[in-house]
Amino acid sequence: MTNFHHGLNVMLRCTISAAAALAAVGLSFMCAVPASAQQSGGEKPPEQAQGEQKPEQKDGDQKAAEQAAREAAEKAMQEYRQAAAKLSRSAGAAECVWTGRRIASLLWRDDIDTARRYMDLYDRFNCSSEHLKLVFRCVIQQGPIDPKAADHLASRVHECWISPDAATAAASQATIGTTTKNGTIPN
């Protein structure tokens, strides 16, 4: 029985020592934080001082961002209205335009798996698969696009969505014109 009590006392002392050590470390850390704040003389960190000096700039940046978002939304709505006015219901419906343009863009960027998932959604909306084929053909026939210029791809896909034959014809004319001038087809 004595060995048991002796072992229990040793374990209890170790536990108390460990708890005391942790408490001491925590207490010293808590004391260090206010001390460092007091050493700075009550001055605010540079990040806070800069943030307080420029509230007008933040408001201006925020207003500019909101304005840009409104303009982008209005442009998108105009594109959907344009598609609805020029195309059949199966190609001009907003859900067909939205998913179809994404599919064409994904196929252009070689993201076949994601495009296939969107195609399931596109088919579920009863959108025109023939129109999607024409759009992708139009995008391809116009030649390469700078991969860093996402807005160029988006505008090309939209132009092809609205009028796949006219956009292809215009691109063909541009290619023929450069072929006769340079003697080669541009990449």
Q: Is residue 174 part of a domain?
A: yes
Rounded distance between C-alpha atoms, residue 111 and residue 104, angstroms: 10
User: Is 32 a member of any domain?
Assistant: no
Residue 82: inside a domain, yes or no?
A: yes
Domain of 85 in residue numbering reads as 72-179
Residue 44 lies in a domain: no
The yes-or-no verdict on residue 141 having pLDDT over 60 is yes
Give 23-35 pLDDT, tens digit per residue: 454 544 444 445 4
Give me 147's structure tokens: 């991969």
pLDDT reported for residue 173? 55
Residue 91 is assigned to a structural domain of this protein: yes
In this prediction the pTM is 0.56
Specify the number of domains making up the chain: 1
In a domain, 127, yes or no: yes
Q: Identify whether 48 is part of a domain.
A: no
Segment 74-84 mean pLDDT: 89
- The answer for residues whose C-beta is within 8 angstroms of residue 93's C-beta and 6 or more apart is 84, 125, 127
In this model, does residue 115 exceed pLDDT 80? yes
Q: Examine the pLDDT at 12 and tell me if it is beyond 50.
A: no
**Do 104 and 135 form a contact (C-beta atoms < 8 A)?**
yes
